[in-house]
Amino acid sequence: MGKLLFGGRKSEDDTVVEMLASAIRRDISFGLLRPDQKLKLTDLRQSYGGSNHSMRETLRILTSEGVVEATNQRGFRVTSATEDDLRDILMVRLEVEKLGLKLSLKQGDVAWESRVVAALHTVRRADALVQESPDDVTALEWDEACRDQSMALMSASGSPRLTDMAAQFYGQSRRFRLALLREGRIDFAARATRRTQLQEAIIAREETRAVGILEDEIGADLGA
Q: Rg of the chain's alpha carbons, rounded to an integer?
A: 19
Residue 141: its pLDDT value, please?
95
Q: Are the C-beta atoms of 115 and 152 separated by less than 8 Å?
A: yes
Q: Which amino acid is at 89?
A: I
Question: Low-confidence residues of the chain, pLDDT below 70?
Answer: 1-12
* Cβ-based neighbour number of residue 91 at 10 Å: 11
Residue 7: its pLDDT value, please?
46
Q: What order of strands is seen across the sheet that includes strand 68-70?
A: 38-39, 76-78, 68-70
CA-based torsion, 120, 96, 172, 12: positive or negative? positive
Residue 210: its pLDDT value, please?
98
* Cβ-based neighbour number of residue 131 at 10 Å: 13
Residue 11: its pLDDT value, please?
56
Distances (CA, A) of 11 to 50, 57, 84, 162: 15, 14, 39, 28
Residue 74: its pLDDT value, please?
76
Closest CA to 188 of 125, 115, 116: 125
Q: For the whole model, what pTM was predicted?
A: 0.84
The residues with which 139 forms a beta bridge, in sequence order, are none
